[in-house]
Amino acid sequence: MIGCMNPSNLATLSALVTLMNQWKRARVMIPLVLVMILLTLIQQVTAAPISSGESEFLPVDQAFVLTGDLQENTILLRWTIADGYYLYRHKLDFRPSVPLSGEPGIEDGQEREDEYFGKVQVYHHYLEVSLPIESDRDEMTIEVEYQGCAESGLCYLPQKRTLRLTRLDHLKSSVVVREPEINSLNMLLNIA
């Protein structure tokens, strides 16, 4: 049957067979090429954090380290703020388990024009807040809310932490130092 075909039909048939063979290979190759492209894109997107082993932004509790103390009639709250991060003053809120006896003592922050909140005060590096209380309790809790951002663009969700505070002077007075008994000390010296 092929011998009866004219040369132009034979060339067309040959081209068609070649095209079909290439299509069979292409059907296998197209998905492989697409998978390779997809893997390359995924690697580029995730390469920096994976290769360096760290994220561009600190976890919130490392960016804003909150500690608290109970001293006499004052609750002291302290934030150590990582370089390149800041806390908003207007996002600070305090709910101690005892009533406050006055206004919180907070120094003025640095003024800043914020694209979301307008004119605000922020704190860099360190912030200390003193809360006057009328209580002689040796232990209490305080719920603290705050929000901060990274200078490079990430703003963390508002945070809520509950701190259990113990009066420091109470702890110091409850520590008892026992002198070693002389007989026990002599026994140890004789053994050595």
Enumerate the β-bridge partners of residue 20: none
Question: Distance from first CA to last CA of the chain, Å, rounded?
Answer: 112
* Residue 28 confidence (pLDDT): 66
Query: Quick one: 84 and 166 in the same domain?
Result: yes
Domain, as residue range, for 93: 60-173
DSSP state for residue 167 in the 8-state scheme:
B
Query: Quick one: 25 and 70 in the same domain?
Result: no
| Amino acid letter for position 53 | G
Query: Quick one: 31 and 90 in the same domain?
Result: no
Burial of 189 (0-12, 13-18, 19+ CB in 10 A): exposed
- Segment (H or E) for 169: helix 168-174
Q: Strand, coil or helix: what is 81?
A: strand
What does the pLDDT look like over 93-110, one tens digit per residue?
Answer: 999 999 999 999 999 999
Please state, in angstroms and rounded to a whole number, the distance separating the CA atoms of residues 174 and 164: 18
Query: Quick one: 30 and 65 in the same domain?
Result: no
Number of structural domains in the chain: 2
Query: Quick one: 22 and 74 in the same domain?
Result: no
| Residue of 146, 163, 164 whose CA lies nearest to 155 | 146
Would 178 be classed as within a structural domain? Answer: no
What does the pLDDT look like over 41-82, one tens digit per residue?
Answer: 556 544 444 444 556 999 999 999 999 999 889 999 999 999
Q: Which residues of 33-158 form beta strands (DSSP E)?
A: 64-71, 74-81, 85-88, 93-96, 105-106, 110-114, 118-123, 126-132, 139-146, 148-150
* Residue 174 confidence (pLDDT): 34
Q: Which residue has the tokens 């380290």?
A: 65
Residue 126, pLDDT above cutoff 70: yes
Q: Which residue has the higher pLDDT, 114 or 168?
A: 114
Query: Quick one: 119 and 31 in the same domain?
Result: no
Indicate which CATH number applies to the domain containing 100. Answer: 2.60.40.1250
Would 80 be classed as within a structural domain? Answer: yes
* Residue 158 confidence (pLDDT): 97
Q: Which residue has the tokens 């006057």?
A: 132
Residue 165, pLDDT above cutoff 80: yes
Residue 20, pLDDT above cutoff 70: yes
Would 182 be classed as within a structural domain? Answer: no
Query: Quick one: 43 and 64 in the same domain?
Result: no
Average pLDDT rounded to a whole number, residues 174-183 = 39
Would 73 be classed as within a structural domain? Answer: yes
Would 192 be classed as within a structural domain? Answer: no
Query: Quick one: 82 and 162 in the same domain?
Result: yes
Please state, in angstroms and rounded to a whole number, the distance separating the CA atoms of residues 117 and 113: 8
Q: Which residue has the higher pLDDT, 171 or 135?
A: 135
Query: Quick one: 127 and 143 in the same domain?
Result: yes
Query: Quick one: 152 and 69 in the same domain?
Result: yes
Enumerate the β-bridge partners of residue 88: 122
pLDDT band for 167, please (50, 70, 90 cuts).
Answer: confident
